[in-house]
């Protein structure tokens, strides 16, 4: 028996490859399927089944492309409806993989079709359960994502029944392999570990403690932050199908001259710059949106970029394919190409450029007492802001900045000092502000981590939010 967890930090997502006696299955594959095909080749195995735990909202699955490449059937749990060919398994149905057995365990609650897969080893003993978004380390899947007629309270009630009847009765030594780890928006507060055991979760996971259904429903539905705006789009793509990754790459890997790049801009294409933040601030194409590959790239791209406009890229040389793949993982397919020669080609052509002025936290401390038009813009999440912020700072969470209305209260006379926690998100925010014509701004290097060390800057907390 061979089990490999394939974890993608950018999405906090785990896919799984299981092999026995030359037969393999893949659970919850990403859209770029090369890794699974290579692994099968290394193991001298053929992929027999592709299991999906549910319609993912936070990424586009590779189920369709992998099925085309391997002829393996796509398996979903009960209550699934798709627009492509898939096998809808019954609760309790068993699939054989070499000397292993995989049992379908329908666990509705996160979504109607949510399903876990229980793996029995060569001796018929329960070995591991692949829980998708039903059970995480320290948390459970949020019940407020699906559309339709069911409320989050109704789905939470179903999740309670699923956990009580299907998960809790499992033996303590059964390994838990979830679809996500810390940082995912599919739960409220996922733990840092990417696997656990049923016994450990019975001890530590609040959702598996003894409580009434009513108490459980309240516990899993309260304090839910709004899900990223791209979640419904990705769920729809996963349900209805998508353009192949090969086709997306073929279009996206088109090298554009400066003149061709300018023509695309004139045709309303979005310029996405994925270079390092420190490089971007020194010079970039006016109107470009910065989202660096070094951060939570896919999540911010899905949250902030429009899905109905073409995208053209400015990347570090050699990172064009990686950028396109990571965009495709969250549903972007209309990528028209990249600037040949990167930003340096734009400079050499003598085209107009923009930059973002950066200041240290001590400079902010010196400017606050003497500039009556100074406004500190904090782009961290509300809970981060509440836990400590510059006194009288304005909180505009980065996730809200896809909507220009979030910037409506900014005056032309304001001198903006933009910051986040460490400096990555604030550069994204600064690029969005400047795209909206707000140029009187500075990015505070190091963000809140440096600001709070300055004795000359008054800070405060908002206990009402924290409580």
pLDDT digits (tens, 9 = 90+) for 189-216: 788 899 999 999 999 999 999 999 999 9
Same domain for 383 and 423, yes or no, is yes
Same domain for 294 and 369, yes or no, is no
Same domain for 333 and 365, yes or no, is no
What stretches of 33-182 adopt beta strand conformation (E)? 46-51, 74-76, 87-88, 94-97, 100-106, 115-120, 126-132, 135-136, 139-140, 175-178
Mean pLDDT of 133-140: 96
Same domain for 341 and 419, yes or no, is no
Same domain for 69 and 134, yes or no, is yes
User: Among 126, 166, 160, 169, which residue's Cα sits nearest to residue 141?
Assistant: 160
Beta-bridge partner residues of 49: 25
Q: Quote the pLDDT of residue 161.
A: 97
**Boundary of a domain, candidates 174, 207, 233:** 233
Q: Which of 214-218, 254-258, 422-426, 455-459 has the lowest mean pLDDT?
A: 455-459
Confidence of residue 408 (pLDDT cuts 50, 70, 90): confident
Q: Quote the pLDDT of residue 464.
A: 66
Total domains present in the chain: 3
The answer to the question of residue 153 being in a domain is yes
441-444 vs 358-359, strand pairing mode:
parallel
Confidence check: pLDDT of 57 > 60: yes
The answer to the question of residue 412 being in a domain is yes
Q: Quote the pLDDT of residue 147.
A: 65
Q: Which of 108-117, 245-254, 372-381, 409-418 has the lowest mean pLDDT?
A: 409-418
Mean pLDDT of 403-409: 84
Distance between CA atoms of residues 19 and 101, nearest Å: 11
The answer to the question of residue 238 being in a domain is no
Residue 28 near residue 49, CB atoms below 8 Å = no
3-state secondary structure of 280: helix
Same domain for 261 and 385, yes or no, is no
- Give this prediction's pTM: 0.91
Confidence check: pLDDT of 116 > 90: yes
**Boundary of a domain, candidates 348, 372, 397:** 348
The answer to the question of residue 353 being in a domain is no
The answer to the question of residue 69 being in a domain is yes
Distance between CA atoms of residues 271 and 256, nearest Å: 12
Mean pLDDT of the chain: 94
| CATH code of 292's domain | 3.40.250.10
Same domain for 11 and 104, yes or no, is yes
Both tokens of 43, joined, read: 């193991």
The answer to the question of residue 227 being in a domain is yes
Same domain for 139 and 273, yes or no, is no
The answer to the question of residue 284 being in a domain is yes
- High-pLDDT (> 70) share of the chain, %: 98
Segments forming the whole domain that contains residue 341? 243-348
Same domain for 229 and 248, yes or no, is no
Same domain for 201 and 294, yes or no, is no
**Boundary of a domain, candidates 285, 319, 348:** 348
Same domain for 165 and 57, yes or no, is yes
Same domain for 327 and 266, yes or no, is yes
| CATH code of 119's domain | 3.60.15.10
Q: Quote the pLDDT of residue 225.
A: 83
The answer to the question of residue 61 being in a domain is yes
């Amino acid at each position: 028996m061979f089990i490999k967890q394939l974890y993608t930090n950018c999405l906090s997502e785990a896919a799984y490859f299981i092999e026995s006696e030359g037969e393999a299955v893949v659970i919850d594959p990403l859209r770029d399927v090369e890794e699974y095909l290579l692994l099968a080749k290394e193991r001298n195995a053929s992929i027999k089944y592709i299991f999906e735990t549910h319609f993912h909202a936070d990424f586009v699955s590779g189920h369709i492309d992998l099925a085309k490449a391997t002829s393996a059937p796509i398996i979903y749990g009960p209550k699934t409806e798709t627009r492509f060919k898939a096998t809808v398994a019954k609760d309790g149905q068993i699939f054989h993989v070499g000397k292993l057995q995989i049992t379908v365990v329908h666990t509705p609650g996160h979504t109607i079709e949510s399903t876990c897969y229980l793996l029995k080893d060569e001796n018929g003993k329960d070995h591991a359960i692949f829980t998708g978004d039903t059970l995480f380390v320290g948390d459970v899947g949020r019940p407020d994502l699906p559309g339709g007629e069911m409320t989050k309270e109704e789905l939470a009630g179903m999740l309670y029944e699923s956990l009580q009847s299907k998960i809790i009765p499992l033996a303590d030594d059964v390994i838990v392999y979830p679809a996500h780890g810390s940082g995912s928006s599919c739960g409220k507060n996922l733990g840092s570990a990417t696997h656990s055991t049923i016994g450990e979760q019975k001890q530590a996971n609040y959702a598996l403690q003894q409580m009434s259904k009513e108490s459980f429903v309240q516990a899993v539905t309260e304090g839910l932050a709004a899900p990223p705006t791209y979640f419904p789009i990705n769920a729809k793509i996963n349900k209805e199908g998508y353009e192949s990754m090969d086709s997306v790459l073929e279009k996206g890997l088109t090298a554009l001259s400066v003149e061709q790049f300018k023509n695309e801009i004139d045709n309303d294409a979005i310029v996405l710059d994925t270079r390092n933040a420190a490089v971007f601030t020194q010079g970039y194409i006016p109107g470009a949106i910065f989202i660096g590959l070094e951060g939570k790239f896919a999540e911010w791209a899905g949250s902030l970029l429009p899905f109905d406009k073409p995208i053209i890229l400015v990347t570090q040389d050699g990172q064009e394919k990686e950028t396109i793949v990571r965009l495709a993982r969250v549903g972007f397919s209309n990528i028209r190409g990249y600037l040949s020669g990167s930003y340096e080609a734009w400079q050499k052509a003598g085209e107009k450029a923009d930059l973002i002025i950066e200041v240290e936290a001590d400079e902010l401390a010196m400017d606050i007492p003497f500039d009556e038009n100074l406004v500190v813009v904090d782009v961290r999440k509300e809970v981060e802001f509440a836990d400590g912020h510059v006194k009288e700072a304005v909180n505009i969470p980065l996730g809200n900045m896809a909507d220009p209305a979030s910037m409506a209260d900014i005056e032309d006379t304001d001198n903006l000092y933009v910051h986040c926690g460490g400096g990555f998100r604030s550069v994204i925010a600064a690029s969005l502000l400047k795209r909206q014509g707000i140029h009187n701004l500075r990015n505070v290097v190091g963000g809140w981590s440096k600001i709070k060390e300055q004795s000359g800057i008054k800070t405060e907390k908002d206990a009402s939010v924290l409580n």
